[in-house]
Structure formats: C-alpha cells, structure tokens
Amino acid sequence: MSKKAKSQKSEDFDPTDLEAISASGDPASQFIVKIDFDYCGVSYVGYQILSRNEIGMLLVGLRSGAQVGTLNMPGDWYEDFDISELDGAFSIHSADPGDVAAMLSLFGNWVGQTSYFDSVLEAARAGPLTIEIAKQFLKNAESADLSKMTSITDEAAEALSKHQGGLSLNGLTELSDEAAEALSKHQGDIILGLTELSDAAAEALSKHQGNINWESPADWIAQVRATVLDLAKAEQFLEDDESTDLSEMTSITDEAAEALSKHQGDLWLDSLTELSDSTAEALSKQQGLLSLGGLTELSDAAAEALSKHQGELYLSGLTELSDAAAEVLSKHQGEISLNGLTELSDAAAEALFKHQGDIILNGLTELSDAAAEALSKLQGDLDLSGLTELSDAAAEALSKLQGDLGLYHLTKLSDVAAEALSKHQGHLVLYRLTKLSDVAAEALSKHQGEINGMSSADWVASKRIKNED
C-alpha cells in the first residue's frame, strides 16, 4: 500500500475556484466546500460550510509549510505529512445560498469526514500573520481570528495599522522593531501577548494613542520590561553598580549588552535564560567576572564569542557541552566554571585540557580514565569536587596536573590511588576523606603540597588522631 497522499478531484473541479472566490466579494458570504482526499487507501470525503474569508484562510493554511497527522488509520498507525499534500483536495461544491441553507437545515455546518478542514485552518491561525491574512481580516474582522498568530510580518503590521477598531494579537511571542513602529500608528486598542520588547520596539509602542492590554502604553511597557535588562538599567548600573541589581533580569537587549561591555568589574546575570549570539559577542568585551549561571544551553557561535572574554567566566547552568563548544571554550583565558555538567565526553575533556586557566567541574559525578588523562594536561587548577570515587588509573593521571586539585567529596581512596596522588605537585583538597589506611597515610604524608590548607604531614597526623579516637 503506497504511503503517497493523493487528492481525488471531481470532474468539474476548477483549481482556480478557491483563489477566485476568496479574492473578491462579500467576506461573510458562505459556500459549501468539499474535501475529497485519499491517503494510503483511506478516503476522506466531507462537506463543510465556510465563509469567503475562511476560504482565504484555508489557502493560507495549505501554504503554511506545516505538518498534519493521519486520521482514522488502521490500528495504531499514525504519521505526519506535509500539509501541501492536501492542496487540490478542497473544492467549491456549491455557491448557491439555497444549498447552504438546505445543508444547515439537514446536517448543520458539516457532514462527512471534515477533520482536515480544522487542521488546515488551525495551521493558518497558528502560523505567521502574513499580509494575506491581514488582508482577509481587513475585509471582515468578525470572521478572522488573529489571536493565535505567534508572529507577524512587517507588511502585515503595516496593513493592520490602518484597521479601524481593536486588534487582538495576544498570541504574538515576538515583534520586530519595524512591526512595532507600524502598529504604533494604529488608532484603536491593542491586545499583545508579548513578554519581551527591544528598546526600539518599546520606544515605538510608547507613542501609541490607544491602550495596550487595557493600560496606557507606558504602564504596559513598564510591566513587560520589568525584568528586561535594557539600556536604561545598564546605564544606571554603570553609573552606580552598588545600587543596581541585575541578578533578577531574565532577558537583555543588545543595546544593554553593548553598554555593559565597557564595565570593568563583576557582572552577575544568572537569571538570563537565553543568550543571542550578538549579545554574547558584546558581553565578551567585558573585563571582569561574568556569571551566566541561568543558561542551560549555548550555541557554538555564542561559545566562540565568550571564549574571547578576559576574566572569570561562570557557565554553571549548562547541562550539556558539545565537543565543538568545548574546543572553542578552551581558548578562554581565565577561570571557567562548568558546574552544571554531569557528564563530560573524552573528546570534550581532550579539548578543555588546552585551556590556560582554572576549570571548575563540580557537577561531574563520574570521570573516565581517558578524561582524567586529558584533564591532567590542564594549565591551571582543576576542581572535581563532585566526585565521590576515583579509580587508580584516574588518580595516576591526575597526579600529573600542575595546578591545585579539588576532590572535596571524595570519601574513599585506595592505597594505589593514594600513592599516585602523593606525586601531585600542587595543593590537594580532600575534606570528605575521613579515613585512611596506614599505607595510604604513609604515601600522602610525602605529598609536596598542602592538603586542605595544611602541610601533608600535619594533615595525615590529624587523620590518624581522629582514626584513633
């Protein structure tokens, strides 16, 4: 059985019917539209009454590039296919008002298998608000719902600015500066579901003469941007960083990032959950500690930008790090914290060993021998305080590390591993290691650096006293 979708067209089907009917005439006029469609041997035949405006929306949905799912297939078979497969499945069955009235009387608004009508119309309403949809709305605002549109083109915004009446665009999640400028010229009230606004968009909408979300534009903008780190907040911080707290800001504008790039001091931006490549590029110029602990992912381009940052870089919220991002971040000159990582591939460890500075990897609970070997070549201190165990081979590898080694939560250490770590040349942190065998104690007493801030001999002696107690 072929999985190729196939449209069944009536003999008198004219492919220009839908286009021609939607192009002119009363938007509220109603038609009986037929679907005749076959998918893998399953037929979908039905009739639904649509207004001229809805027919226009049907065409928009067919061109949306969305995916739709199979319906009423045998067993549990379900798959998605391109909505364009339905192009040609719809035709005008009747434009006679008498036929429409008869169908309404006998069957209601639809009869047969019409589920794909809803799928296509839903795709139109959920997609970008295009100039075609805006024109349909301007013909008959009552029969077009714009509230589910998640984005809007600049051309559509310009067209809607001429609408005489309210605009409900509460589905929008983004708005370009050009679209905001266009909508600001609209004479009625506007409903907007936006949670973020750029500086330019806020400036444009502040000039709007009507209400936005039943409030003055100024009040609404202030609420939306309460947690937006904008240029004004950035400039206030630069003027007096002691009186301005940026830690609660959940988003940042490019203008603010560019301003903060001139700051020579600590920047704690741990509530930011997203970072654009352009923002990362701007913040990379800041000199001082930069903490972005709220980020859970980082694009390779953003990693490339941040690798140029001069100072401590805290990316403690990252839960994954691609090998490519690790390679890029290895170029960073300064301490880097990646405490959110619970796993580290051998390739990523191999990349990070090239880093010239301290690395904090306290989120790791396991470390392969190969990764330990790679990290041992690091030129800086290494904090692995999340490890509770360490293999003999990993201990042997890490003993070659030239910087300090943090193993805060290590609770046990074999005699072989203790012998290996005794050869380490930097300071050791082993706060949770409470018991030592005589062999391990003897080995670690010869360590040349401090252990937990004490001389190795004194630290071993303190452990022996506790063990005796």
Q: How many distinct structural domains can be found in the chain?
A: 3
Strand boundaries in 206-341, DSSP class E: 228-229, 251-252, 267-268, 290-291, 313-314, 336-337
Residue 271 lies in a domain: yes
Residue 15 has pLDDT above 50, yes or no: no
Burial of 74 (0-12, 13-18, 19+ CB in 10 A): exposed
275 with 217, same domain: the answer is: no
What pLDDT band is residue 49 in, cutting at 50, 70 and 90? very high
- Provide the pLDDT for residue 230: 87
Q: Which of 224, 255, 287 is the last residue of a domain?
A: 224
Residue 317 has pLDDT above 70, yes or no: yes
Domain for residue 70, yes or no? yes
Say how far apart CA 414 and CA 423 lie, in whole Å. 15
Is residue 139 one of the residues assigned to a domain?
A: no
- Within this chain, do residues 205 and 268 fall inside the same structural domain, yes or no? no
pLDDT in tens, 371-392: 999 999 998 999 999 999 999 9
396 with 416, same domain: the answer is yes
272 in the same domain as 303:
yes
Residues 104 and 191 in one domain: no
- pLDDT greater than 90 at residue 57: no
Whether residue 187 is found in the same domain as residue 159: yes
| 263 strand-pairing partners | none
Task: Note whether residue 358 is domain-resident.
Answer: yes
pLDDT of residue 94: 92
Q: What is the pLDDT of residues 159-190, one digit of tens each?
A: 999 998 899 998 888 899 999 999 999 999 99
Residues 207 and 251 in one domain: no
> Do 214 and 238 share a structural domain?
no
Domain boundary among 126, 154, 187: 126
Query: What's the pLDDT score for residue 54?
Result: 84
165/59 Cα distance (integer angstroms)? 26
| Confidence category of residue 368, pLDDT binned at 50, 70, 90 | very high
- 419-429 mean pLDDT: 93
Q: Could you list the residue range(s) of the whole structural domain that residue 117 is in? A: 5-126
Whether residue 238 sits in one domain with residue 189: no
The pTM score is 0.62
Same domain for 105 and 162, yes or no, is no
Q: Are residues 67 and 208 in the same domain?
A: no
Q: Determine, yes or no, domain membership for 406.
A: yes
Tell me if 135 is assigned to some domain: no
pLDDT for the residue numbered 146: 83
On the question of pLDDT at 5 being above 50, the answer is: no
Mean pLDDT of the chain: 87
CA proximity to 459, closest of 468, 29, 436, 439:
436
Q: How far is Cα 308 from Cα 20, in angstroms, rounded to an integer? A: 58
Asked if residue 136 belongs to a domain, the reply is no
| Stretch (H or E) spanning 322 | none
Taking the C-alpha atoms of residue 456 and residue 428, their distance in angstroms, rounded to an integer, is: 9
Pair of tokens at residue 211: 């209400």
Q: What does the pLDDT look like over 234-275, one tens digit per residue?
A: 999 999 877 788 888 988 988 899 999 999 889 999 999 888
